[in-house]
Each structure stands twice: as C-alpha cells, then as structure tokens.
Copies of this chain bind each other. A is one copy, B any other.
Amino acid sequence: MRVSEIGEFGLIKLLARELGVQYLPSPGSKAPPGLLVGLGDDAVVTARQEGALVWTTDTMLAGNHFLPELTAWPDIGWKALAVNVSDIAAMGATPHLALVTLILPEDACVEDVLALYQGLKECAEAYGVTLGGGDIVRGPVFAVTVALSGRADEARAGGPRVMTRSAARTGDVIAVSGYLGDSAGGLRLLQDGADLASAAALYLRLAHERPQPSVSLGRAAVRAGVRCAIDVSDGLVQDLGHIASASAAGIRVEANRIPLSNALHETFPGRALGLALTGGEDYELVLIGPRPAIESLLNHDTTVTEIGQVVEHDGPHVAVVDETGREIPLPHAGGWDHFANP
C-alpha cells in the first residue's frame, strides 16, 4: 500500500498503533509512558530532567547513508536512532527523548515505513529512549532525521560531567570499546553481494546494520573520571584526528593493539587492520583519560582495550605505529565529507 493512498494522518495513526500509543488526544486520555502530554498536540511534554541536557541530531538518506535494496527497513530504523544514541554515549550521557522526521517519496510503501518504525522502536526500547513524535513530509527522497536529547550528571561545581573532544592531555591512555572494522567489513559484504550465510558474515553484517552504542560504558567512564571521548563514526584515524585537533595533542596508537574480531580476520585476511583504521560506522567509544580511570573500566561488561597514548607533539597529530615503533603511512585522512567528490 502506498502512503499516498492513506495520507499523512492515516500513516501517523498506523505508526502510533505500531508504537502502541494513542495518537489523537482526547479528554481524559493518558499520555504514553515517558510523556506528560502525548502525540497529536502542538508539542510533546516530558518531566523536568535532573542534570545537564545533551542534544544531537543525525540524518540518514536513502542512496547516501543506506541502501533500501540491501538493508531491511527495521535495520534502517534501528540505525537511524542508534547513531544518535552513540553521540549521547560519547558524551557520557543517558539518552532521553527522540523526535523523528520522515521525508517520504509519494510512492513510499506504508509497510516499509511501519517496518522502519519497528526498528526505531526496538532501539528506543533497548536504550530507554522515549519517542516523542516528529514530522512527516513528502519529498523526492526517503530520509529519516532523528533529534535526540539526553541528560548528563552534574558535577558538584554545577557544570556538566561530560566527555568532550578537547580534554585529551599528554600522558593520557587511549582505549576503545569492542572491535573495530566489523561494520566496514559488513558493508563490503553487502555491497559485493557476497554470500552472507556463514556465521562470520552474519556477525559482520549485524555489526553494520545493528550497531550497539555503549551507553552504559560511557556513563561508567565519565563517573570514573574520563573526560575525553568520541564515538567511532568516521573511522578510527579520522575520529582520533578530531580529538587531536580539539585537544591540540599528539595521538599515538599501536597497530597491534587495535581490537580486531576473528570474523573480520577470517573474512578479510590481510585487510582487517585497514578496515579498522579507516572503515567507520563502528559506533564504539574511544575513551581517553588518566591510567587509573581507564583501568577501572577494564572489567566493565563491554570489552575495553588499551590502544595507545596521548603524547607531546608540535601541533595536532595522529600516528599509528607498528611493533617496532615505526609510523605506518596512512592515506590522507581528508575525512568523510558529504559534499566532497571522490
């Protein structure tokens, strides 16, 4: 069924049913859990939050950030929210309320939109996010924008206890959660039309399509005294470059410490490290802080691996060194740029 057959309000009602909430308010109707005023009014209302407020937004466009031919709609919905959750996690904060905007082509299928919302809902439930409505408009491309707010603890002095990109200090230890490169490996398999039946292939595909942001690790890190973090979205080297620039610091990473999964080694022999360094979309956390703070996280339920150190350097710099300490030449990390021509 096409969206144009049931119209904007018909679609909204179906989406509300999918979410298990009442769309149109009525006298005496109750707002869904998490909301004081529910969907269908000029705005939704939530209770006052403890702590500082944290805000982020990210957009995914069909053909650019995802390929509907290759990825199931629930996975697209999951990821649209998860990439925002990852930004909140990288601040050491807890996600709270999401607004979802859909741009839909006239011939979009209602079933696809409902399936996308199924994934959004699964991610929202996994991370305790309240879906607070949004906007649906017609346009020439399928796009989903999520704006997500969260909360951060407040320090005694009144400022927020968050992790920023500019707080790396010489001598700090650099650690990363999980494994890197798996998402890029999964994307390659999808793009190549590879056989995805093996356990390794399925694992890589899941890493690409169902990223699991490390919210609880981020919270544990900020409480342990880690003050610098970033989520790996553009690729490890480029994201470390953001830290190096913002902190005016030298970053030195040991290649043989970078955590690589067996599945990645097995599926991309000889290419695993490259995928881990530049692949991107891992949505793992880079955590940078004093050794005791980092080491206190090693027993966290998410794997945390030490990969390097912040070093003295004349200006921002990222070096990846081999076991002899020699710098591995990196491709120019001009960075992911939506408008750059390849």
Cross-chain contact B152 with A41 (CB below 8 angstroms):
no
Cross-chain contact B137 with A41 (CB below 8 angstroms):
no
Closest CB in chain B relative to A112 CB, distance in Å: 14
From A40, A87, A134, A145, residue with most partner B Cβ within 10 Å: A145
A47 at interface by CB-CB < 8 Å: yes
Number of chain A residues close to chain B: CB under 8 A: 86
A69 at interface by CB-CB < 8 Å: no
A261 at interface by CB-CB < 8 Å: no
A99 CA to B147 CA in the complex, in Å? Answer: 7
Q: Can you spell out 17 A-B residue pairs with CB atoms less than 8 angstroms apart?
A: A7-B337, A8-B338, A36-B52, A36-B159, A41-B164, A42-B231, A43-B54, A43-B87, A43-B90, A43-B93, A45-B52, A45-B91, A57-B133, A103-B141, A106-B339, A139-B141, A147-B147
Question: Can you name 13 extra interface pairs (CB under 8 A) apart from A57-B134, A139-B143?
Answer: A4-B339, A7-B339, A8-B340, A27-B246, A42-B86, A42-B230, A44-B54, A45-B53, A45-B54, A46-B52, A61-B137, A106-B339, A135-B145
Q: A-side interface residues toward B, CB under 8 Å? A: 3-4, 6-9, 11, 24-27, 29, 36-37, 40-59, 61, 64-65, 86-88, 90-91, 93, 97, 99, 101, 103-104, 106, 132-141, 143, 145, 147, 149-150, 152, 154, 159-160, 162, 164-167, 229-231, 245-248, 335, 337-341
